[in-house]
C-alpha cells in the first residue's frame, strides 16, 4: 500500500454488504491510511452487514437516510466531531429504483416510484453537497465522488428510470462542482463504472446478459468493484487535485467501443 490517504478523513455512503462498491472503497481507504465514518439508510443497517466493516476498519457508523436534510446535517456534524476536524473526501454510492424493483416498465412508470427513486439516487447527491458546502465541512483540496452508469448517455432498455437519475446525478456533479471548486477548492466527479455484481446491480432485469456483453465488448474486460475502489482512492488522493467536473469512465474501454471481435463472432456465419 502507498499511504495515499494518510491523515485524510471522510464519509463513505452505501456499504451494504461485502459486494458493495462502497465496501471495497472503505477497505482500500483504510489500507491507505484514511479515517472515516460509514453511513447507510437506517433500514440497510438491519439488512446488511455494515457492523463487520466498521469493526474491520475501526470506523463508527452513523445511520442517515440520504434524502433527509436533517439526517445529513446530523451526519456531517457528528462525523467532524468523531474524526476531529473537517473532511477530505466523501463517497456517494447510492442507487435505488422502485420501478425496477417492482418490475414497472419504463413506458408505464409509477410516478410516485419515479419521484422516490429520483430523490434517493440523484437529488440525495445535491442534498449531501448542500450540507457539506453550507456547513463549510470540507478541507481545501477535498474530493467528492459519486458513482454512476453509462445509461446516462446511451440506451440500456432495462436500466429503466435509473438512466434518467444517473443523467441528473452527473449534471449535479458539474453544477455543484463549479461552486464547490470556486469557493472551497473542492473537486467533484462521477465515476461511470462497468456493470458489477452487487445488490443494486443484480436488481436490473437481464443483468447476467448485460455483464457478459460488456465483458466481451471491453478490450480490458469489465472493471471489478475492487478496481473501482482503487480508482476512487486515486480521486481522493492528492495525485488528482485538478480533476473536477468530470464524468470518468471506468469500464475497461467499453464506452468508446463500437463492436469487438468477440461480439462480431456471434453474428458471423461459420464458413
Ligand X SMILES: NC(=O)c1ccc[n+]([C@@H]2O[C@H](COP(=O)([O-])OP(=O)(O)OC[C@H]3O[C@@H](n4cnc5c(N)ncnc54)[C@H](O)[C@@H]3O)[C@@H](O)[C@H]2O)c1
Which of 123/186 has CB closer to ligand X?
A: 123
95 interacts with ligand X by CB under 6 A:
yes
60 interacts with ligand X by CB under 6 A:
no
All three cell numbers of 256: 468508446
Residue of closest CB approach to ligand X:
201
Q: Residue 139, exposed/middle/buried by CB under 10 A (0-12, 13-18, 19+)? A: middle
Which of 31/158 has CB closer to ligand X?
A: 158
Number of residues that bind ligand X (CB under 6 A): 27
What residues contact 212, with CB distance under 8 A and at least 6 apart?
none
Binding mask 226-245 vs ligand X (x if CB under 6 A, - otherwise)? --------------------
Sheet bearing 9-13, strands edge to edge: 60-61, 35-39, 9-13, 87-92, 138-148, 187-193, 247-250
Nearest-angstrom CA–CA distance, 47 and 44: 5
117 interacts with ligand X by CB under 6 A:
no
Which of 92/184 has CB closer to ligand X?
A: 92
Which of 6/101 has CB closer to ligand X?
A: 101
User: Residue for cell digits 455484481?
Assistant: 197
Nearest-angstrom CA–CA distance, 120 and 65: 9
Q: Which of residues 8-27 bind ligand X (CB under 6 A)?
A: 13-14, 16, 20-22
In this structure, what are the phi and psi dihedrals at residue 92, rounded to the nearest 5 degrees? -100, 110
Helix (H, G, I), strand (E, B) or coil at 142: strand
Q: Residue 259, exposed/middle/buried by CB under 10 A (0-12, 13-18, 19+)? A: exposed
Q: Which of residues 198-217 bind ligand X (CB under 6 A)?
A: 198-201
Give the one residue of 143, 160, 190, 193 binding ligand X; rule: CB under 6 A.
193
Nearest-angstrom CA–CA distance, 57 and 29: 9
Give the one residue of 40, 99, 190, 244 binding ligand X; rule: CB under 6 A.
40
Which of 193/237 has CB closer to ligand X?
A: 193
53 interacts with ligand X by CB under 6 A:
no
- Min dist CB 194 to ligand X, Å, is 7
Give the one residue of 137, 147, 152, 223 binding ligand X; rule: CB under 6 A.
147
Residues lying near ligand X in the complex (CB under 6 A) are found at: 13-14, 16, 20-22, 40-41, 44, 65-67, 93-96, 120, 147-149, 193, 195-196, 198-201
Amino acid at each position: 500500500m502507498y499511504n495515499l490517504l494518510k491523515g485524510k478523513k471522510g464519509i463513505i455512503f452505501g456499504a451494504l454488504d461485502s459486494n458493495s462498491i462502497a465496501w471495497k472503497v472503505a477497505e482500500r481507504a483504510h489500507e491507505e491510511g484514511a479515517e472515516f465514518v460509514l453511513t447507510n439508510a437506517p433500514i440497510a443497517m438491519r439488512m446488511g452487514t455494515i457492523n463487520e466493516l466498521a469493526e474491520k476498519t475501526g470506523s463508527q457508523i452513523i445511520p442517515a437516510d440520504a434524502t433527509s436534510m436533517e439526517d445529513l446535517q446530523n451526519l456531517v456534524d457528528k462525523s467532524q466531531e468523531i474524526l476531529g476536524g473537517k473532511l477530505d473526501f466523501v463517497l456517494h454510492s447510492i442507487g435505488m429504483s422502485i420501478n425496477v424493483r417492482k418490475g414497472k416498465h419504463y413506458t408505464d412508470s409509477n410516478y410516485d416510484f419515479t419521484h422516490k427513486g429520483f430523490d434517493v439516487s440523484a437529488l440525495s447527491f445535491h442534498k449531501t453537497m448542500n450540507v457539506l458546502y453550507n456547513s463549510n465541512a470540507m478541507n481545501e483540496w477535498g474530493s467528492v465522488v459519486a458513482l454512476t452508469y453509462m445509461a446516462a448517455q446511451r440506451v440500456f432498455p432495462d436500466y429503466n428510470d435509473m438512466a434518467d437519475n444517473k443523467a441528473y446525478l452527473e449534471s449535479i456533479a458539474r453544477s455543484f462542482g463549479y461552486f464547490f471548486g470556486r469557493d472551497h477548492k473542492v473537486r467533484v466527479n462521477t465515476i461511470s463504472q462497468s456493470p458489477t455484481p452487487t445488490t443494486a446491480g443484480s436488481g436490473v432485469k437481464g443483468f447476467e446478459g448485460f455483464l457478459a456483453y460488456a465483458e466481451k465488448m471491453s478490450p480490458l474486460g469489465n472493471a471489478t468493484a475492487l478496481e473501482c475502489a482503487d480508482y476512487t482512492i486515486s480521486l481522493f488522493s492528492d495525485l488528482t487535485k485538478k480533476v473536477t467536473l468530470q464524468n470518468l469512465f471506468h469500464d475497461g474501454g467499453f464506452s468508446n467501443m463500437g463492436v469487438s471481435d468477440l461480439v462480431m463472432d456471434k453474428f458471423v456465419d461459420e464458413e
